[in-house]
C-alpha cells in the first residue's frame, strides 16, 4: 500500500485531467446503460411483444410525423420498421456519442499516465545525479540503468492499472446500481460471487509480487553483466574468454527464465479459477432468471437487459486477476525504485549538518589539511592524521606507492567524500561550511582517463560554461594546444566525436579536457596522472598545455613518473595513508634512506 500511496503523489499535479477523464467514464457508463434500454426494446420487438410496448405516441416521437399516415403506408409492419430504427439508433449512438466519451477517457487518462511516467523517470535520474560519489563505488552501473529503464517500464503497469481500476470502480458502481434497480433478488445472487473472487485474487497477490521482485533483480544482474563485459570486450578477446562469458550469461538468462516461469505458473493457476467462477455465476444467473420468467416475474427483454448489465458489471471483476498480476509485478519494481529515491542526496546530507552554508566569492586558494582522517570502510583508515598547509598559487606533487591514499587525498577537496575526522579549509573556511555547488565551481580537475560526452568538440569544451562565446572556447583550445588539430577535423569545432570521444586519440582527448578546465577558470586545480597514458609526442603537447593551465592556480598533481614533478613547489610522499616525507626534489633526494630516494632510484632519475 505504501507504494500505491507514493505513486499517487505523482498524480496530484494532474488532478484536473483525472477529473475530466472520470467524467468521461461516468458519461461512458451512462451510454452503456442507454444501450441496455435499446437492447431490451430490440428483444421485445423481435420476440413479438412489441405491440404491447410500442404505442402510437412512441412512433410519433421517433418519426415526428402523424402516426396515422405511416400506419396507412406500412399497414401493420410497424414492428419491422421499429426494429430497423432501433438498430440504426444503436449504431449511431455508439459510433458518435459513446465514441466521443471513449476518446475523452482514453486521451485524458493516458496523458496523465505518460506524464507521471515522465516525471518518475526524471525524478529518479535527478536522484542519481545528486547521490554522493561513494554511492557509485559500491553500486553497479548496470543495476542503476535497469532501474531507470526496465523497472520504470514495469511500473507503468501499475499506472495503467490505475486507469483500469478507476474505470472499473465507476462503471461497476453504476451497473450494480441499475441491476438492483431492475431486479434486486437476482442482483443479490450475482454479488454473492464477488467475495469469493476477491479472496482468490488476494491469495495469489503475495507470491506473484515476490516472484516479480526476483525477476527484477535478475534483469539488473543481466544489465550489469552486459555493461561490464561489453566495456571490457578487448580483455575478453585477448584472453579468449568468449566461451566462458557466454556460459555465465547463459546461466543468468536461464535463472531469469526459471523465475519468470514461476510467476507465469501462479498467474496460470489463478486465471482458470477466475474463469470457473465466472461460468458458475453465469449458469446460476440463467437458472435464477429462467425461474423468474416461468413465474412471470420478468419478460425476455428485461432478462436480456439484465444480462447486459450483469456482464458489464462482472467484466471488471473478471479482469481483476489480470490487473492484480500486472500490479504485483510493477509493485516489485516500485519497491526497487523508491528504495533508491529514499536515499539521501549530497545536498540533503549537507542540510542535515549545516543550517546555513557559506559561499566563497573571491577565492585566493590557500588550503590547509588539519589532522585529517578518512576511511571508506569503518575501522580501515585510508588517510591517517594528515596535516599540511598550501599557499595560494603553489604546485603540490603527491607521490608514493599505489594504494597509499593519493587519489583519496585530492578527492576530499571537492567533497566527493565526506571527511570522518579533522578538516580541510580553503581561505580559512571549512569546506563543510561551503555550499557544494560553490565549492566545486572553484575547483577544476583533469583526470588520467579523460571522459568526453557524445556531441561536438565545442560542446565538450564548453561543458562547464554553456554560455561561453565561441571566441572564449577557441581561446581555451589554443592555450591547451588543441586548436590546431580541432580545425583540421571534418567539421572543426562542430565535429561529432562519438561516444566517449572514440574518434579522437588519447592525447587529443586530454587536450580537450584541459581546454574544458581552462574555460572553467578555477582557482584550485587537480591533475590526477594527466599524462601517464600518453605517448612521448602527446605528452610534450599536454605538458605545455598543463603548464599554462597551472599558472596562478593552487595545483595538486598526482604522478607516478617523478620526472614530471621535479619542479613542484612541494613534493608530498604519501605511504599507507600517512605523510612519509615532504619538501622539494633536491632536498628529498639527499635523504638516501627515505622513500622518495628509493622511488627515484627505481625510476633512474637520480641526477635530476
Res 269 pLDDT > 70: no
Give the pLDDT confidence score for residue 75 in this predicted structure. Answer: 42
- Beta-bridged to residue 390, according to DSSP, are 367
- Of 91-95, 415-419, 451-455, which one has max mean pLDDT? 415-419
Give the pLDDT confidence score for residue 56 in this predicted structure. Answer: 44
Q: In Å, how far are 210, 358, 536 from 267, measured between CA atoms? A: 13, 57, 65
Res 152 pLDDT > 90: no
User: What's the gap between Cα 276 and its chain centre?
Assistant: 40
**CATH classification (class only), 352-442+524-608:** alpha beta
Residue 114: pLDDT band (50, 70, 90) is confident
Give the pLDDT confidence score for residue 55 in this predicted structure. Answer: 46
Q: Which one has a higher pLDDT value, 328 or 545?
A: 545
Q: Which one has a higher pLDDT value, 29 or 373?
A: 373
* Cβ atoms of residues 209 and 325 within 8 Å: no
- Between β-strands 395-399 and 570-575, what pairing exists: parallel, antiparallel or unpaired? parallel
Give the pLDDT confidence score for residue 53 in this predicted structure. Answer: 43
Res 207 pLDDT > 80: no
User: ∠ CA(51), CA(53), CA(59), 5° rounding?
Assistant: 80
Give the pLDDT confidence score for residue 11 in this predicted structure. Answer: 82
The predicted model gives 166-194 an average pLDDT of: 73
Q: Which pLDDT tens digit goes with each residue over 561-606?
A: 787 788 889 999 999 999 999 999 888 888 888 898 888 888 776 5
The predicted model gives 199-216 an average pLDDT of: 68
Give the pLDDT confidence score for residue 155 in this predicted structure. Answer: 73
- Between β-strands 570-575 and 578-583, what pairing exists: parallel, antiparallel or unpaired? antiparallel
Return the closest-CA partner of residue 82 out of 65, 58, 98.
Answer: 58
Q: Which one has a higher pLDDT value, 479 or 7?
A: 479
The predicted model gives 543-557 an average pLDDT of: 86
pTM, whole model, 2 decimals? Answer: 0.69
* Cβ atoms of residues 22 and 170 within 8 Å: yes
User: Crossing angle for the helix pair 2-9 and 300-341, nearest 10 degrees?
Assistant: 90
Residue 66: pLDDT band (50, 70, 90) is very low
C-alpha cell read off for 358: 557559506
Give the pLDDT confidence score for residue 235 in this predicted structure. Answer: 57
Structural domain spans, the chain: 2-343, 352-442+524-608, 453-521
- Beta-bridged to residue 389, according to DSSP, are 368
Return the closest-CA partner of residue 49 out of 299, 294, 295.
Answer: 299
* Cβ atoms of residues 569 and 388 within 8 Å: no
- Beta-bridged to residue 574, according to DSSP, are 579
Give the pLDDT confidence score for residue 273 in this predicted structure. Answer: 67
User: Crossing angle for the helix pair 242-294 and 194-231, nearest 10 degrees?
Assistant: 160
| DSSP states along 159-187 | HHHHHHHHHHHHHHHHHHHHHHHH-HHHH
Q: In Å, how far are 23, 167, 205, 284 from 26, measured between CA atoms? A: 5, 8, 29, 29
Res 147 pLDDT > 50: yes
Res 354 pLDDT > 60: yes
Give the pLDDT confidence score for residue 202 in this predicted structure. Answer: 64
* Cβ atoms of residues 307 and 285 within 8 Å: yes
Return the closest-CA partner of residue 331 out of 477, 199, 206.
Answer: 206
Exposure class string for 205-231: b at 16+ Cβ within 10 A, else e: beebbebbbbbbbbbbbbbbbebebee
The predicted model gives 321-332 an average pLDDT of: 64
Sheet holding 380-390, edge to edge: 380-390, 367-377, 421-426, 429-430
Residue that has been written with the C-alpha cell 549537507 in this structure = 350
Contacts of range 308-311, beta carbons closer than 8 Å, 24 or more positions apart? 308/35, 308/36, 308/39, 309/33, 309/36, 309/175, 309/178, 309/179, 309/182, 310/175, 310/179, 310/190, 310/285
Res 413 pLDDT > 70: yes
* Cβ atoms of residues 54 and 63 within 8 Å: no
Residue 231: pLDDT band (50, 70, 90) is low
Query: How far, in Å, CA of 23 to CA of 318, rounded?
Result: 24
Give the pLDDT confidence score for residue 436 in this predicted structure. Answer: 86
Side-chain half-sphere exposure of 71, counting CA atoms within 13 A: 8
* Cβ atoms of residues 152 and 333 within 8 Å: yes
Query: How far, in Å, CA of 130 to CA of 458, rounded?
Result: 26
Q: Which of 260-269, 456-465, 476-485 has the lowest mean pLDDT?
A: 260-269
The predicted model gives 208-235 an average pLDDT of: 69
The predicted model gives 94-122 an average pLDDT of: 79
Res 238 pLDDT > 90: no
Judged on CB neighbours under 10 Å (0-12, 13-18, 19+), 95 is exposed
User: ∠ CA(149), CA(325), CA(107), 5° rounding?
Assistant: 65
Residue 232: pLDDT band (50, 70, 90) is low
Res 54 pLDDT > 50: no
Total count of residues recorded for the chain: 608
- Beta-bridged to residue 525, according to DSSP, are 444, 555
Residues 412, 417, 423, 426, CA torsion sign: positive
Res 399 pLDDT > 80: yes
Sheet holding 554-558, edge to edge: 443-446, 524-528, 554-558, 395-399, 570-575, 578-583
- Of 45-54, 267-276, 406-415, 505-514, which one has max mean pLDDT? 406-415
Res 470 pLDDT > 50: yes
The predicted model gives 234-256 an average pLDDT of: 74
Res 65 pLDDT > 50: no
Q: Which of 157-161, 483-487, 547-551 has the lowest mean pLDDT?
A: 157-161
Res 247 pLDDT > 60: yes
Res 58 pLDDT > 70: no
Res 450 pLDDT > 70: yes
The predicted model gives 50-71 an average pLDDT of: 44
Res 429 pLDDT > 60: yes
Res 63 pLDDT > 50: no
Return the closest-CA partner of residue 445 out of 464, 431, 473, 420.
Answer: 464
The predicted model gives 336-343 an average pLDDT of: 83
Average pLDDT, the chain: 77
**What is the helix (H) or strand (E) element at residue 280, kind and residue range?**
helix 242-294
Residue that has been written with the C-alpha cell 566563497 in this structure = 360
Q: Which one has a higher pLDDT value, 17 or 242?
A: 17
Dihedral pair phi/psi, residue 585, rounded to 5°: -60, -50
Give the pLDDT confidence score for residue 67 in this predicted structure. Answer: 43
Residue 384: pLDDT band (50, 70, 90) is very high
- Of 274-283, 491-500, 536-545, which one has max mean pLDDT? 491-500
| CATH 3.40.50.300 describes domain 453-521 | yes
Domains 2-343 and 352-442+524-608 share a fold: no
Residue 534: pLDDT band (50, 70, 90) is low
CATH for the stretch 2-343 = 1.20.1560.10
Give the pLDDT confidence score for residue 392 in this predicted structure. Answer: 92
Res 554 pLDDT > 70: yes
Res 357 pLDDT > 70: yes
C-alpha cell read off for 457: 568538440
Return the closest-CA partner of residue 1 out of 276, 202, 230.
Answer: 202
The predicted model gives 315-323 an average pLDDT of: 58
Amino acid at each position: 500500500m505504501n507504494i500505491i500511496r507514493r505513486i499517487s503523489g505523482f498524480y496530484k499535479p494532474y488532478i484536473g485531467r483525472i477529473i475530466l477523464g472520470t467524467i468521461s467514464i461516468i458519461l461512458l457508463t451512462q451510454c452503456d446503460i442507454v444501450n441496455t434500454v435499446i437492447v431490451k426494446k430490440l428483444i421485445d420487438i423481435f420476440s413479438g411483444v412489441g405491440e404491447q410496448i410500442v404505442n402510437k405516441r412512441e412512433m410519433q416521437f421517433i418519426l415526428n410525423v402523424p402516426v396515422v399516415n405511416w400506419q396507412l403506408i406500412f399497414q401493420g409492419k410497424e414492428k419491422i420498421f421499429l426494429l430497423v430504427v432501433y438498430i440504426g439508433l444503436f449504431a449511431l449512438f455508439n459510433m458518435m456519442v459513446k465514441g466521443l466519451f471513449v476518446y475523452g477517457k482514453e486521451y485524458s487518462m493516458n496523458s496523465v499516465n505518460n506524464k507521471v511516467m515522465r516525471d518518475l523517470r526524471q525524478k529518479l535520474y535527478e536522484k542519481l545525479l545528486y547521490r554522493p560519489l561513494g554511492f557509485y563505488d559500491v553500486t553497479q552501473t548496470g543495476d542503476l540503468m535497469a532501474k531507470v529503464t526496465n523497472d520504470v517500464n514495469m511500473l507503468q503497469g501499475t499506472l495503467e492499472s490505475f486507469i483500469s481500476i478507476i474505470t472499473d470502480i465507476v462503471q461497476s458502481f453504476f451497473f450494480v446500481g441499475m441491476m438492483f434497480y431492475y431486479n434486486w433478488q437476482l442482483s443479490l445472487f450475482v454479488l454473492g460471487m464477488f467475495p469469493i473472487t476477491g479472496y482468490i485474487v488476494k491469495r495469489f497477490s503475495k507470491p506473484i509480487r515476490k516472484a516479480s521482485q526476483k525477476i527484477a533483480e535478475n534483469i539488473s544482474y543481466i544489465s550489469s553483466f552486459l555493461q561490464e563485459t561489453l566495456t571490457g570486450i578487448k580483455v575478453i578477446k585477448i584472453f579468449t574468454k568468449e566461451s566462458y562469458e557466454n556460459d555465465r550469461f547463459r546461466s543468468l538468462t536461464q535463472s531469469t527464465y526459471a523465475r519468470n516461469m514461476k510467476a507465469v505458473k501462479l498467474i496460470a493457476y489463478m486465471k482458470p479459477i477466475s474463469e470457473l467462477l465466472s461460468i458458475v455465476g453465469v449458469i446460476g444467473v440463467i437458472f435464477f432468471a429462467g425461474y423468474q420468467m416461468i413465474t412471470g416475474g420478468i419478460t425476455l427483454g428485461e432478462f436480456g437487459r439484465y444480462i447486459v448489465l450483469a456482464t458489464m458489471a462482472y467484466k471488471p471483476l473478471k479482469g481483476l486477476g489480470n490487473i492484480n498480476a500486472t500490479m504485483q509485478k510493477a509493485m516489485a519494481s516500485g519497491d526497487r525504485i523508491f528504495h533508491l529515491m529514499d536515499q539521501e542526496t549530497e545536498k540533503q546530507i549537507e542540510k542535515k549538518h549545516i543550517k546555513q552554508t557559506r559561499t566563497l566569492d573571491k577565492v585566493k586558494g590557500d588550503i590547509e589539511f588539519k589532522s585529517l582522517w578518512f576511511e571508506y570502510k569503518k575501522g580501515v583508515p585510508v588517510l591517517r592524521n594528515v596535516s599540511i598547509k598550501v599557499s595560494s598559487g603553489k604546485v603540490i606533487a603527491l607521490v608514493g606507492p599505489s594504494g597509499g591514499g593519493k587519489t583519496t587525498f585530492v578527492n576530499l577537496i571537492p567533497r566527493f567524500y565526506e571527511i570522518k575526522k579533522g578538516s580541510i579549509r580553503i581561505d580559512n573556511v571549512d569546506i563543510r561550511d561551503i555550499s557544494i555547488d560553490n565549492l566545486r565551481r572553484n575547483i577544476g580537475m583533469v583526470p588520467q582517463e579523460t571522459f568526453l560526452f557524445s556531441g561536438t568538440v565545442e560542446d565538450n569544451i564548453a561543458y562547464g560554461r554553456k554560455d561561453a562565446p565561441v571566441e572564449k572556447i577557441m581561446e581555451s583550445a589554443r592555450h591547451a594546444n588543441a586548436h590546431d588539430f580541432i580545425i583540421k577535423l571534418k567539421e572543426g569545432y562542430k565535429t561529432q566525436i562519438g561516444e566517449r570521444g572514440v574518434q579522437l586519440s588519447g592525447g587529443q582527448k586530454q587536450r580537450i579536457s584541459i581546454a574544458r578546465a581552462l574555460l572553467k577558470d578555477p582557482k584550485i586545480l587537480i591533475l590526477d596522472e594527466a599524462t601517464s597514458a600518453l605517448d612521448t609526442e602527446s605528452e610534450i603537447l599536454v605538458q605545455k598545455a598543463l603548464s599554462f593551465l597551472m599558472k596562478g592556480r593552487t595545483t595538486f598533481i598526482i604522478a607516478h613518473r617523478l620526472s614530471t614533478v621535479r619542479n613542484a613547489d612541494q613534493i608530498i610522499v604519501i605511504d599507507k595513508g600517512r605523510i612519509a616525507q615532504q619538501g622539494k626534489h633536491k632536498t628529498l633526494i639527499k635523504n638516501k634512506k627515505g622513500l622518495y630516494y628509493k622511488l627515484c632510484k627505481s625510476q633512474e632519475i637520480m641526477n635530476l
